[in-house]
């Protein structure tokens, strides 16, 4: 579903990125709020609202994910689908780097190798684009920051999204009204289908998140990490084969270097997990006297 977003957001035109963002926040609040009630998480939401630290962390997360959303929507609707996919290809490496710089986590040798190769890829792509791939970098760093804030808050996905969208909903509503008053809003005068598509933003945002949350408790994290590459792979395929975005040789080279970095990163993660599991199982298998 996340991989199909580049096909979905153009359907919302003539709405611009900021209007789509406003509606995405408002309708996500409606859907997430309904799910909180249906799955019985009202007590957890109330607890978050009483916890100043968690509330501030989620407010910061809401601001960061809003930047991520509007950047992605703008990129998709302005012929930069391939560049948006680059942002999500590099996100695991950016997240790893943030863990080192902010959480003081230690990286293993092959992780450093993967990160170095990814840096080379950014240099190659910068030379090819004639500029920094700022859409990709902004997506990667904003989503990495979002993940860091969510990890620090330590709350469930439904109540988290409900609180995040509730925090930003007043700004989203003000944005929609301002655009409508200024004559730039598209909700009125573009037919019932356009209205329904804008309302569907809530479902389109919350349903993939719900699926991810359901998978997280059923599937090993290493498997989930590898499966998450499906989204940028599908986005890249949409950009190249459906939207027919330009892919000169230098761009192919840059993406190839990124993919090499991700193969090293993923293989090292799988190997390390298996090693840790063997070490945990070995003592239990050792017979006692």
Phi, psi of 245 (to 5 degrees): -75, 150
- Per-residue pLDDT at 97: 84
Which pLDDT tens digit goes with each residue over 246-271? 999 999 999 999 999 999 988 888 88
What Rg, from alpha-carbon coordinates, does the chain have? 21
* pLDDT above 60: residue 61: yes
Q: Is the separation of the CB atoms in 3 and 230 below 8 Å? A: yes
* pLDDT above 60: residue 91: yes
Q: Which pLDDT band holds residue 221 (cuts at 50, 70, 90)?
A: low
Mean pLDDT computed over 54-77: 96
Which pLDDT tens digit goes with each residue over 111-150? 899 989 999 999 999 999 999 999 999 999 999 899 889 8
* pLDDT above 60: residue 288: no
Among 255, 227, 215, 264, which residue's Cα sits nearest to residue 114?
Answer: 264
- Per-residue pLDDT at 270: 84
- Per-residue pLDDT at 216: 67
**pTM to 2 decimals?**
0.88
| Residue 221 φ/ψ region, left for φ over 0, alpha for ψ in the -120 to 50 degree band, beta for the rest | alpha
* pLDDT above 80: residue 75: yes
């Amino acid at each position: 579903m996340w991989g199909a977003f580049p096909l979905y957001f153009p359907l919302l035109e003539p709405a611009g990125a900021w209007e789509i963002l406003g509606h995405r926040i408002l309708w996500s609040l409606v859907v997430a709020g309904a799910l909180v009630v249906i799955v019985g998480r009202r007590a957890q939401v109330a607890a978050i609202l009483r916890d100043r630290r968690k509330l501030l962390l989620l407010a910061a997360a809401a601001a960061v994910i809003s930047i991520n959303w509007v950047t992605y929507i703008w990129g998709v609707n302005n012929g930069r689908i391939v560049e948006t996919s680059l942002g999500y290809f590099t996100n695991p490496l950016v997240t790893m780097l943030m863990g080192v710089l902010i959480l003081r986590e230690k990286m293993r040798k092959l992780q450093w190798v993967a990160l170095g190769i990814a840096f080379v890829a950014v240099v190659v792509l910068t030379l090819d684009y004639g500029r920094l791939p700022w859409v990709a970098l902004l997506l990667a760093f904003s989503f990495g920051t979002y993940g860091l804030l969510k990890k620090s808050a330590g709350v469930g996905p439904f109540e988290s999204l409900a609180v995040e969208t509730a925090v930003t909903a007043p700004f989203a509503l003000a944005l929609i009204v301002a655009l409508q008053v200024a004559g730039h809003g598209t909700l009125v005068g573009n037919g019932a289908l356009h209205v329904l598509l804008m309302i569907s933003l809530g479902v389109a945002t919350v349903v993939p998140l719900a699926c991810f949350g359901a998978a997280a408790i059923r599937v090993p994290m290493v498997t989930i990490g590898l499966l998450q590459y499906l989204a940028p792979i599908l986005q890249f395929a949409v950009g190249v084969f459906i939207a027919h975005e330009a892919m000169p040789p230098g761009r192919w080279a840059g993406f190839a270097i990124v993919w090499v970095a991700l193969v090293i990163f993923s293989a090292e993660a799988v190997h390390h997990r298996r090693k840790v599991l063997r070490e945990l199982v070995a003592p239990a298998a050792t017979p006692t006297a």
